[in-house]
Structure 1
């Protein structure tokens, strides 16, 4: 990750991190329990990379993420991602996910069908589980069959996913108490 940098920023759901390099944003870290824990997680995953003031394009992405998590329907479509290190199938999944507007959802099966067949649903789930840029690639808008929340590997798990969907006003088939 040489030449890559990160910044921490505050949102309605906690302190997030953003990582960028010369070709765009290549990572978003959802909030951990504290700002320091978010910073530690970034360094665990990406090595001892430098923290810096974000340049204008990155600040634009941060502003969009902050807006979205404050309930404004920003689709973050203008955010430039550098996903060169990501497998091609995953990039296809992320491209479809980026087309889901705030407040709307697709299922793993919906995305799988667009990529060749419903039997790819598990692969879609794995790709989303490895999403390096959550929020910008809105994996939280992808649900399991029947509109159930499905998995979410971020800190806070399904609760974080449901919180983000609630902020966006999306309908989710969630039974309180089942995953809380």
Structure 2
């Protein structure tokens, strides 16, 4: 078995982490409250991983995640993941999540429909809660029905989810925003 490596790196929303084995990611981590908490969580999840420098595809991924958290439109769906290590149901959920474009969202029920499991919205939520690659597999882009946020297992919970969706300028509801229903001439300018 190849050696597992990890890297902690600073982003606009805090210290994130990537974990890889060979040329594929086996884990990612959204920010914890501080570096010590991030290291402790990594040690629990990947006790065999050794700290390493960012090179090649890892350095490119760090740059992409940093850019995403600074508001740039980035697609991380092409990154190499050890997705076959996840249960079949979870893999299908993650594949749908990977297809959600930057700034857009789906509901748990819509994901369930897309994997051919109508009525499995709760199971979709459980699978997303087990996502080994948050931000790469954008589980933050999946919401509960009616534009409700649903859960989020990263440190900071739903607040972190909303922060990332705000950075992406995602519409979180089919309902128009306060100014969206106004005629074009009456809308305030977009920034």
TM above 0.5: yes
In structure 1, the gaps of 5 or more residues are 174-180
Task: Give SS of 1:161's match.
Answer: helix
Residue 141 in 1 paired to residue 138 in 2? no
Task: Supply the distance in 1 between the matched residues of 2:96 and 2:23 (Cα, whole angstroms).
Answer: 21
Q: Is the 8 A contact 2:19 2:49 kept in 1?
A: no
Task: Give SS of 1:80's match.
Answer: coil
Partner of 2:111: 111
For residues 118-138 of structure 1, the C-alpha deviation after alignment (integer angstroms, 9 at most, x for no partner) is 211111111100000000000
Q: Is the 8 A contact 2:74 2:102 kept in 1?
A: yes
Partner of 1:122: 122
**RMSD across aligned C-alpha pairs, in angstroms?**
1.3
TM-score of the aligned structures, taking structure 2 as reference length: 0.87
- Please identify runs of 4+ aligned residues in structure 1 that moved more than 3 A: none
Residue 169 in 1 paired to residue 169 in 2? yes
* Structure 1 residue 110, shift from structure 2 partner: 0.5
Task: Give SS of 2:85's match.
Answer: coil
Give the greater-gyration-radius structure (CA). 2
Decide which moves more: 76-85 or 131-140: 76-85
Quickly say closer, same or farther: Cα 1:29–1:122, change in 2 above 3 A.
same
Q: Is the 8 A contact 1:4 1:50 kept in 2?
A: yes
TM-score of the aligned structures, taking structure 1 as reference length: 0.92
In structure 2, the gaps of 5 or more residues are 174-191
